Structures are given as structure tokens and as C-alpha cells.
Amino acid sequence: MPSNASPHEWSPAFEGNSAVIYAVDRNLRLTHTNFAWDQFACENGAPELAGDRIHGICLMDVISEVLRPFYEERYRRVTTEQQEQWHVFECSSPEAYRRIHMRILPLTQGILMINSLVAESGFQQIVSNEPSCYVSESGIVTVCSHCRRVKNLLDKSRWDWVPSFFTHPPAKLSHGLCSVCTIYHYGLTGSR
């Protein structure tokens, strides 16, 4: 945001926007969500996340631990430096590949986030092996917090797309970052 621009607050115009738009207060608690948020939640099997009942939830409580430092730094820049941040991430489903552009903008009393779809297509090739090669002895499946690929325990350098885990999730999930997302998207070294 240019230094001479004044921050805006939640606008009724956000309600009809096709992008998923939401606002948080200075404590990163949800204060507003638009209709596209509600629609996305319902279409992705989480109707309990639609509507006003989720207002007051802290974003940091729903961001996986491995991604918290990344988002904490972005939110800090937005609030203390009044500096716009953006990030492109993958948010695929078992049926569709999706890339989302997230804009994080300062508000007078918090932060505005706008998630816009930039690409969506069907998968041309889906990698899916026997589920047993993804489940640890303790029954845990590790999923990349960014691309949602699953850690292959037989070949630890591989993270595979396993759509069956999103239509029928394992009982125990753990979040990590695959080596590609760790380096490319978050500027870290090694996989977590």
C-alpha cells in the first residue's frame, strides 16, 4: 500500500465479490467473512465454518504449526509497517488443481485478506500408491501444509498426491512441508 493511502475498513462491496475475503482484528481474530467464504466452506465439506459463528476464532489457531512463523512474519509486516503482502499457494481438491493468490492488506484496526483463484484445472495424472506406504507404524499420515501431498515412507524423498486421503481422511494426520515447498515457497532449508 502506498504510504499516502489511508487504510480502509470492511465494505459491503466485499460481500458480492467472487474472491474469498475476510478480515481479522489486531489479535488476528476473524471479524468479517464474505459470501464467497461461506460458499467455499460449504462446497469443501465444512459448513460449520460458514457464517458469523466463526467470527472471533484466531487465525493462528487454525494454521498448521509448521506454517505459523511464515504467516506471523507476513502479518507483522502488514500491521507494523503498513506494508501489503501477497503469497500464491496451492489449494487443490481430489478432483481439481487450484492455485490461489492471497493479498494481505492493512486495515485501521486489523488486516484484510483476499484469496483469488488464479488457476484451476483437472489433474492429468494422479500419483497414488498403496495407502500402506504413507501410514507410519503409529498410524500417522504426514501431509505437506502447502501442496497437500503425502510423505511416502518407503522413499522419504517423495511426496505423492493421494486423493483418497482427502475423500476419506486417515484418522491421524500430521502436517509438515515437503522439500520443494519448504525451499520454493517459504525460503527455508530442508523438509519439516
Which range is least confidently modeled, 34-38, 58-62, 113-117, 160-164? 160-164
Question: Which amino acid is located at 122 in the chain?
Answer: G
Task: Please tell me the predicted confidence (pLDDT) of residue 171.
Answer: 82
Say whether both 17 and 53 belong to one domain. yes
Task: Please tell me the predicted confidence (pLDDT) of residue 179.
Answer: 79
Grade residue 3 by pLDDT with cuts at 50, 70 and 90: very low
SS3 125: coil
Residue 6 belongs to a domain: no
Range of the domain at 49: 12-122
Provide the number of structural domains found in the chain.
Answer: 2
Residue 168 belongs to a domain: yes
Task: Please tell me the predicted confidence (pLDDT) of residue 164.
Answer: 76
Say whether both 73 and 50 belong to one domain. yes
CB atoms within 10 A of CB 46: 11
Q: What percent of the chain has pLDDT over 70?
A: 89
Say whether both 168 and 97 belong to one domain. no
pLDDT of 38 above 90: yes
Grade residue 5 by pLDDT with cuts at 50, 70 and 90: very low
Residue 163 belongs to a domain: yes
Say whether both 84 and 141 belong to one domain. no
Say whether both 48 and 100 belong to one domain. yes
Q: What is the pLDDT of residues 73-125, one digit of tens each?
A: 999 999 999 889 999 988 887 777 888 999 999 998 899 999 999 888 876 55
Grade residue 192 by pLDDT with cuts at 50, 70 and 90: low
- 120 vs 3 pLDDT, higher one: 120
Question: Which amino acid is located at 191 in the chain?
Answer: S
Task: Report the distance separating Cα 146 and Cα 136, nearest Å.
Answer: 21
Q: What is the pLDDT of residues 56-74, one digit of tens each?
A: 999 999 888 888 999 999 9
User: Mean pLDDT, to the nearest integer, of 29-52?
Assistant: 91
Residue 3 belongs to a domain: no
Say whether both 116 and 169 belong to one domain. no
Question: Which amino acid is located at 79 in the chain?
Answer: T
Say whether both 40 and 106 belong to one domain. yes
Say whether both 40 and 118 belong to one domain. yes
Q: What is the pTM of this model?
A: 0.68
Say whether both 80 and 146 belong to one domain. no
- 184 vs 6 pLDDT, higher one: 184
Say whether both 104 and 28 belong to one domain. yes
Task: Please tell me the predicted confidence (pLDDT) of residue 95.
Answer: 75
Residue 192 belongs to a domain: no
Task: Report the distance separating Cα 143 and Cα 147, nearest Å.
Answer: 8
- 189 vs 166 pLDDT, higher one: 166
Phi-psi region of 183 (alpha: psi -120 to 50; beta: other; left: phi over 0): alpha
pLDDT of 1 above 90: no
Q: What is the CATH number of the domain that holds 114?
A: 3.30.450.20
